[in-house]
Amino acid sequence: MENDVPRKSLKEKRNEDDIDPESKYVGTSELFFVILPFIVLAMVLGHKGELYTIFYSPEWSIVSVVICGQTIVRFVGAVLGPSAYRERIMMALSGMIVFLFIPNVLILSIVLSVDKISTTLASFQLSIFCIDAILYFIATVLHSDAQKKSD
């Protein structure tokens, strides 16, 4: 005897699990405001003839710490969605804190405490910023999509 519950077609199931395109717009619009200070900084430094110094600015680490914290909040919202899995949440948060947040704070501390930032530190700071920006975008898209699906 077959189950009386109607089955969803593969196409219906795939569409239900797809990320809402509007969520990507939310992530993109928020990232615009994350990079806005760097556009202004680039314009000011360019006007002063010092554009080459932009990667040595502590703002990279400051913004990385901020968006890393926001990423944690967005990630929790996306993961909780309609159901919560305590172990998965704890593992994800632990990983984010250990591998993202603490290195961001450490880099920020070093950048703010030295007189001259080395090329290695500037490169590391920029790399961490790029990783955090990408993860923030992904977390924002997931969070927005989860919010729309719960409505």
6-27 tens-digit pLDDT: 555 545 544 656 778 888 888 8
Mean residue pLDDT of the chain comes to 83
Of 122, 7, 124, 149, the residue nearest 53 (C-alpha)? 122
As to burial, measured by CB atoms within 10 angstroms (0-12 exposed, 13-18 middle, 19+ buried), residue 66 is middle
Residue 49 Rama label (left phi>0; alpha psi -120 to 50; beta): left
As to burial, measured by CB atoms within 10 angstroms (0-12 exposed, 13-18 middle, 19+ buried), residue 2 is exposed
What whole-number distance in Å separates Cα of residue 112 and Cα of residue 126?
Answer: 15
**CA angle (126, 137, 141) in 5-degree steps:** 175
106-144 tens-digit pLDDT: 999 999 999 999 999 999 999 999 999 999 999 899 889
